[in-house]
C-alpha cells in the first residue's frame, strides 16, 4: 500500500453529523452568533426557526457559552425530552438549579434559598457524579397544584435575577413547540408570566412547522409576537466551502474546489446533510474517480447508510402519497392540481392529490415554498426516491 494511503487511513474522519458540534467542528456562523448574543444580552426574546438538523442547537449552545463567559447565566432545556407537564416542572427546575446556582454554593442551600416558598416540596437527588436534579410530586397532587407549581417555576428566573441583582439571565427552550402537545393552556400560562419579566430573555427554538404555526404564528397563537423571529438559513456557500476544504486538507485528503461546491449545491448547504455527505466523500476521496463520480459515490454511500430510515418513510406512505412523491421528483412541484399534471403523473382526481399533499405536509415530508411549488424537505429522501424507486438501483 502506498505510504500516502497508509498515512491518510490512519487519520480520523473530520466530518461529524447527527449530533451537537462545538469547537473546531462548529461551522462558522459568526454573524448569527453575534446577532443572537446581542439580542439576548439586550433583553430581546428570540424565536429561532429552521428545519431539523439545521444546526440550531449547536448554534444556541455557542451563544450560551459566549453569554456565560460574559457573566450572564443561561438555563437550557430540550423540550423534546419532556413527556408530561409534571416532568416539565422537574426538568425546568433542574435546569435553573444547574444554571443559576453559584459554583461555591451547595445545591441544598440553593434549593432552600429559592424554592422554600413553593407549594410542592422539591426532592433533591445527586447522581454518582455529583450532578444535582430536582423532582416534585405535583403530578399525584392533582392538576391545580401542578398548574400552580408551573406558574411558580416560570416566575423563578425573574425572582433569581432580582434577588441576585443580575441585569440579565437567559432561558433557552429548545424544540419548545413540543410543549403544545402538553396542552395549549401551558403556553398561554407561560406567556402570562414572561410578558411581565424585565430581567429574563428567552430563546425559543423550533422546527416542527405544524406545531410552530399553532404556537406562534396563527392569529390566536399563545406566543404570538412574543419574540423576534430569527429564521436560520443555509450556511453561506463560500464560507462553508472554505470550512470544508480546510478540513479535507488538514486531514490529508485535499479535494478540488469543484468537488466541494458540487457537494454543497447538492445538499443546498444544509449543515448536517452537508457534513454527512462530506463524511462519506472523505472516505472515497483517495479513489481514482472524477469529481462527479466522487460526489455521486459519496451520495450513494449516504443513501446506503440511511436506507432503513428511507424505507420506513416510504412504507409509511399510502399509495396516493407515494405516487405524489414520485411525481414531485420527476415533474417538479408546480401546478400539481392541473389536469395535465395529474394525468401525466397518474395521480387521480384533484381531491386525492389534495388529501395526499396535506398528509405529506403534516408528516413534515413536503413543504410549500413561497414560490408556490411543493418540495420534498429531506434532500436525501428525494435522491433515494430518484435512484431507488424511479431508477431501480439496488
Q: Looking at residues 343-349, what average pLDDT do you find?
A: 95
- At 20-38, the pLDDT tens digits run 555 555 666 888 999 999 9
290 Cβ contact partners less than 8 Å away, ≥ 6 residues apart: none
Contact at 8 Å (CB) between 204 and 227? Answer: yes
Q: Looking at residues 369-394, what average pLDDT do you find?
A: 92
Contact at 8 Å (CB) between 259 and 15? Answer: no
- At 160-188, the pLDDT tens digits run 998 877 789 999 999 988 888 888 789 99
- Every domain of the chain and the residues it spans: 3-19+235-305, 28-231, 308-390
Instruction: Quote the strand ranges of the chain, DSSP E.
Output: 46-49, 74-78, 123-126, 132-135, 169-174, 200-206, 228-231, 366-368, 374-376
Return d(Cα 312, Cα 105) in angstroms, integer: 50
Can you list the alpha helix ranges (DSSP code H) found in 306-378?
Answer: 307-315, 319-331, 339-345, 350-362
Domain 308-390 sits in CATH 1.10.10: yes
pLDDT-based confidence at residue 342 (cuts at 50, 70, 90): very high
Query: Residue 2's pLDDT is what?
Result: 42
Q: Looking at residues 56-65, what average pLDDT do you find?
A: 92
pLDDT at 265 exceeding the cut of 90: yes
* Range name among 3-17, 168-182, 297-311, 361-375 with the lowest pLDDT average: 3-17
Query: Residue 221's pLDDT is what?
Result: 83
Return d(Cα 47, Cα 36) in angstroms, integer: 10
The length of the chain is: 394
Query: Residue 216's pLDDT is what?
Result: 84
**Which residue did the predictor score with more confidence, 214 or 387?**
387
* Range name among 26-30, 97-101, 207-211, 333-337 with the lowest pLDDT average: 26-30
pLDDT at 376 exceeding the cut of 90: yes
Q: What DSSP designation does 296 have?
A: H
pTM: 0.79
pLDDT-based confidence at residue 128 (cuts at 50, 70, 90): confident
Q: Looking at residues 276-303, what average pLDDT do you find?
A: 94
State the fold for domain 28-231.
Rossmann fold (3.40.50)
Amino acid at each position: 500500500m502506498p505510504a500516502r494511503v497508509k498515512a491518510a487511513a490512519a487519520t480520523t474522519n473530520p466530518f461529524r453529523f447527527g449530533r451537537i458540534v462545538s469547537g473546531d467542528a462548529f461551522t462558522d456562523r459568526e454573524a448569527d452568533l453575534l446577532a443572537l448574543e446581542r439580542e439576548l444580552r439586550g433583553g430581546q426574546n428570540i424565536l429561532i426557526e429552521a428545519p431539523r438538523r439545521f444546526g440550531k442547537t449547536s448554534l444556541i449552545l455557542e451563544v450560551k457559552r459566549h453569554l456565560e463567559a460574559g457573566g450572564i447565566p443561561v438555563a437550557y432545556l430540550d423540550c423534546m425530552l419532556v413527556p408530561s407537564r409534571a416532568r416539565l416542572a422537574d426538568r425546568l427546575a433542574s435546569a435553573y438549579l444547574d444554571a443559576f446556582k453559584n459554583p461555591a454554593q451547595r445545591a441544598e442551600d440553593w434549593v432552600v434559598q429559592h424554592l422554600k416558598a413553593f407549594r410542592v416540596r422539591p426532592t433533591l437527588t445527586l447522581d454518582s457524579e455529583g450532578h444535582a436534579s430536582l423532582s416534585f410530586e405535583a403530578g399525584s397532587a392533582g392538576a391545580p397544584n401542578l398548574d400552580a407549581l408551573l406558574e411558580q417555576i416560570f416566575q423563578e428566573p425573574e425572582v433569581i435575577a432580582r434577588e441576585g441583582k443580575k441585569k440579565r439571565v437567559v432561558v433557552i427552550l429548545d424544540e419548545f413547540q413540543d410543549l403544545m402537545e402538553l396542552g395549549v393552556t401551558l403556553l398561554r400560562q407561560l406567556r402570562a408570566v414572561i410578558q411581565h419579566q424585565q430581567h429574563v430573555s428567552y430563546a425559543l427554538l423550533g422546527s416542527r412547522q405544524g406545531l410552530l404555526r399553532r404556537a406562534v404564528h396563527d392569529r390566536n397563537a399563545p406566543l404570538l409576537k412574543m419574540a423576534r423571529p430569527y429564521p436560520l438559513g443555509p450556511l453561506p456557500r463560500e464560507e462553508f466551502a472554505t470550512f470544508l476544504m480546510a478540513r479535507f486538507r488538514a486531514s490529508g485528503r485535499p479535494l478540488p474546489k469543484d468537488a466541494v461546491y458540487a457537494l454543497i449545491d447538492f445538499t443546498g448547504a444544509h449543515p448536517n446533510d452537508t457534513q454527512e455527505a462530506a463524511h462519506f466523500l472523505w472516505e472515497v476521496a483517495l479513489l481514482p474517480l472524477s469529481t462527479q463520480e466522487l460526489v455521486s459515490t459519496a451520495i450513494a454511500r449516504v443513501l446506503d447508510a440511511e436506507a432503513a430510515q428511507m424505507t420506513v418513510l416510504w412504507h409509511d406512505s399510502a399509495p396516493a402519497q407515494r405516487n405524489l412523491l414520485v411525481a414531485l421528483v420527476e415533474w417538479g412541484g408546480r401546478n400539481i392540481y392541473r389536469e395535465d399534471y395529474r394525468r401525466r403523473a397518474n395521480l387521480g382526481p384533484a381531491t386525492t392529490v389534495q388529501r395526499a399533499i396535506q398528509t405529506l405536509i403534516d408528516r413534515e415530508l413536503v413543504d410549500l415554498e413561497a414560490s408556490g411549488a411543493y418540495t420534498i424537505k429531506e434532500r436525501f429522501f428525494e435522491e433515494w426516491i430518484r435512484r431507488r424507486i424511479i431508477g431501480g438501483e439496488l
